Amino acid sequence: MDLRINEETKKASTECRKNFSCLSGNQLTLCKVEQCVTDNLHFIKCINSELCSYQMSFGSSHVCTCPVRKELYNRYKI
């Protein structure tokens, strides 16, 4: 799958430690979005315990604040 995102979104993701691996098309590199609220709040299930600057704890769940990941989900539902 050819994944495209807005260049401004990518530029806004200055804290990415994974070298934008989510754009590779390999869905195994993506944390799973379990629930999305109004295209802005993305509850995720993390794929591993690797530290991510965009992962925030929210009770017993995690929220993703990564602009790239959010756009990928909102645009492609992956």
List beta partners, residue 45. Answer: 32
Locate tokens 């539902």: which residue?
Answer: 77
* Angstrom distance (rounded) from CA 65 to CA 55: 6
Structural domain total, the chain: 1
Residue 28, pLDDT score: 82
Q: What is the pLDDT of residues 2-14, one digit of tens each?
A: 788 999 999 999 9
Could you tell me if residue 2 is inside a domain?
no
Structural domain boundaries enclosing 57: 7-76
CB 70 within 8 A of CB 24: no
Q: How confident is the prediction for the chain on average, in pLDDT? A: 92
Choose between 41 and 27: higher pLDDT: 41
- For the cut 90, the answer to whether the pLDDT of residue 38 exceeds it is yes
Could you tell me if residue 70 is inside a domain?
yes
Could you tell me if residue 1 is inside a domain?
no
CA 34, 35, 40, 41 torsion-angle sign: negative
